[in-house]
């Protein structure tokens, strides 16, 4: 009976994680913009970086860093603002045409390593993840279900797999769209600016959420 209850809890956790990951935000926007700007390989690197950042979030949640951030509002607010400013900077770069999409772009192609580490940074600057790790993650750790470390690893695997599938799908779709655009500079730049505007909206939404929480 205990095993059945644990399995049900894992399914509930998966559904919650899927809903949060599928909701457009900083991580998804970075995967989308990276793929459109530099192609499928950059998209894969971005997904890998987001997954790595998610694993770090899980480790931090397990060690209670999320609780520290929430107990010190100044730190959490600083994190939220930093994340919003970072996303806004990416959006402004696209709006200015600094990273026009496709082969016609004059901007240098970012290396996969640089994309990966920027993705890790983007994930770590995402305040939504810290809220999840504080409010949701601990509820699925139970002493009666075995060693806590093993439970943390299992939940981390569920999170990572969900991120890989959802964001991987975004990268594949964006890469296909990029290919279809071909060498149309006007269309590519229009799409680039559209993505930039979306990033600015994400940044504004992040700040709005912080203001609602008493930033």
pLDDT of 108-152, one tens digit each?
467 889 999 999 988 888 877 877 777 677 778 777 778 878 888
In the prediction, which pLDDT does 46 show? Answer: 95
By CB neighbour count within 10 A (0-12 exposed, 13-18 middle, 19+ buried), where does 83 fall? Answer: buried
Residue of higher predicted confidence among 80 and 48: 48
Total domains present in the chain: 1
Residue 174 covered by a domain: yes
Residue 11 covered by a domain: no
Tokens coding 120? 């890790």
Give SS3 for 49: helix
C-alpha 162/C-alpha 15 separation (Å) is 10
Side-chain-facing half-sphere of 190: CA atoms under 13 Å: 6
Side-chain-facing half-sphere of 114: CA atoms under 13 Å: 6
Residue 32 has pLDDT above 70, yes or no: yes
Give SS3 for 114: helix
In the prediction, which pLDDT does 4 show? Answer: 47
Q: How many CB atoms lie within 10 A of CB 23?
A: 11
How many residues does the structure list for the chain?
Answer: 215
Residue 183 covered by a domain: yes
Helices H / strands E in the chain, number of each: 9, 0
Residue 48: pLDDT band by 50, 70, 90 thresholds? Answer: very high
Tokens coding 153? 């690893």
Residue 128 covered by a domain: yes
Give the pLDDT confidence of 51-60 residue by residue, as tens digits: 999 999 888 8
Residue 35 covered by a domain: no
Residue 9 has pLDDT above 50, yes or no: yes
pTM for the structure as a whole: 0.71
Residue 77 covered by a domain: yes
Q: What is the extent of the structural domain holding 183?
A: 40-212
Residue 30 covered by a domain: no
Residue 33 covered by a domain: no
C-alpha 169/C-alpha 166 separation (Å) is 5
Residue 49 has pLDDT above 90, yes or no: yes
């Amino acid at each position: 009976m205990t095993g059945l209850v644990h399995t049900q809890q894992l399914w509930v956790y998966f559904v919650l994680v899927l809903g949060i990951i599928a909701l457009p935000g900083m991580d998804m926007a970075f995967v989308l913009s990276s793929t459109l700007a530099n192609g499928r390989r950059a998209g894969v690197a971005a997904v890998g970086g987001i997954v790595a950042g998610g694993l770090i979030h899980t480790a931090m949640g397990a060690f209670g860093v999320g609780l520290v951030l929430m107990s010190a509002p100044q730190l959490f607010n600083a994190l939220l603002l930093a994340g919003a400013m970072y996303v806004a900077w990416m959006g402004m770069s696209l709006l200015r045409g600094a990273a026009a999409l496709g082969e016609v772009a004059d901007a240098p192609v970012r290396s996969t390593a640089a994309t990966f580490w920027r993705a890790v940074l983007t994930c770590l600057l995402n305040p939504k993840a810290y809220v999840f790790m504080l409010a949701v993650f601990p509820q699925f750790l139970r002493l009666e279900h075995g060693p806590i470390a093993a439970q943390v690893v299992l939940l981390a695997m569920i999170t990572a797999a969900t991120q890989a599938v959802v964001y991987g799908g975004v990268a594949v779709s964006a890469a296909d769209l990029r290919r279809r655009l071909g060498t149309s500079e006007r269309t590519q730049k229009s799409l680039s600016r559209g993505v930039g505007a979306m990033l600015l909206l994400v940044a504004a939404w992040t700040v709005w959420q912080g203001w609602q929480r008493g930033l």
